[in-house]
Amino acid sequence: MSLALLLATAGCVAPTSGFPERITNLAPRVLNLWRGSVIAALAVGVTV
C-alpha cells in the first residue's frame, strides 16, 4: 500500500502537489480544499 502511494505521488512537487501556478489570491484555499478531500478519500478507502 505504501509503495503504491509512493509511486502515485512521485511526480508531484511538494508546494503545489502537481497543480498549476497560482493566479488568484484564493488559490491557497482551493489547494488546501483539494488536499483535504484527497486525505479524506484515502482515509475512507483505507477504512472500507
The one-digit pLDDT tens for each residue of the chain (48 residues) are: 677 766 666 665 556 666 677 788 888 888 888 888 888 998 999 988
Q: How many residues in the chain?
A: 48
What pLDDT sits at residue 11? 60
pLDDT of 27: 82
Q: Going by C-beta distance under 8 Å and a sequence separation of 6 or more, which residues neighbour residue 35?
A: 17
Within a 10 A sphere around the Cβ of 27, how many other Cβ atoms? 14
Query: Residue holding cell 502511494?
Result: 5
Which pLDDT belongs to residue 13?
A: 56
